[in-house]
Amino acid sequence: MSDVNDLDIELNKALDDLVPADEKPAEPEADPYEEFKRELRLKPGRWYVIHSYAGYEKKVKANIASRAENMQVDGIYEIQVPTEDVLETKNGQAKRVNRVRVPGYVLVRMELDEDTWSVVRHTPGVTGFVGNAHNPAPLRFDEAFTMLKPIADEQLAEQQKSAPSQQPSQVAVEVDFEVGETITITEGSFAGFPGTISEIQPASRKLTVLVSLFERETPVELGFGQVSKL
């Protein structure tokens, strides 16, 4: 009986660290991207993804725009190379840098026909369309939004600059963890347990780790400093 009571005490202690699985859902918040999504749906043309040489994405963007203008092709409406701000740490010093979010890719919103295809495909630095080379498929709406979301984030950050309760704009943080990676918990009730990372939250520097407890995987929320790599 003593062993059972001890087990109950340890289990109750461990449960304090668990991510609540059955909390009452919070009231839905207004979607800050609703206006961006609405504009995205109303714009003419479809979004296509172009392969380019890594490091030449912005040059390719300028070249496509220049060729479309010089060749008087009107069906190419917009070219984007989504970027993001990240904090990189080198030699112990954090530095904020702007980098291309998906190296080697350029997004083009256009009406696909022989003229627009030719302008894009034969632009220096372009190696082809993603998908069928001669009849590429456009992105679905959700795919386009995901790729273009950094642009919406920039717009929201500009709007927040004039807000009375201005908060510092969030910057993506470089992390040395990956989803699916096995780590060791170093602090808390599960110290010494191995776990598998199921979610990474760079902004709050937290991880959701799946821990095997009584033959069942249980999610535990931990800070970056509470785990170590194997």
Indicate which CATH number applies to the domain containing 180: 2.30.30.30
Q: Which two tokens stand for residue 49?
A: 């993804």
DSSP 164: T
- Let me know whether 88 and 151 are in one domain: yes
Residue type, position 138, single letter:
P
HSE-CB for 88 with a 13 A CA cutoff: 7
Q: Which two tokens stand for residue 18?
A: 């668990």
Rounded CA-CA distance 148/36 in Å is 10
Number of domains comprising the chain: 2
For 175-191, b where at least 16 C-beta lie within 10 A, e where not — what string? eeeeeebebebeebbbe
pTM of the model: 0.57
Residue 40 located in a structural domain: yes
Indicate which CATH number applies to the domain containing 85: 3.30.70.940
Residue 170 located in a structural domain: no
- Let me know whether 13 and 50 are in one domain: no
- Let me know whether 12 and 91 are in one domain: no
Task: State which residues form the domain around 111.
Answer: 34-161
- Let me know whether 137 and 90 are in one domain: yes
Residue 152 located in a structural domain: yes
* pLDDT per residue as tens, the chain (230 positions): 555 555 555 655 555 555 555 555 555 556 778 888 899 999 999 999 999 998 999 999 999 999 999 999 999 999 999 887 777 767 767 778 888 888 889 999 999 999 999 999 999 999 999 888 888 999 999 888 888 887 887 777 777 776 665 555 555 556 678 888 999 998 876 778 899 998 888 877 888 899 886 566 778 888 888 899 88
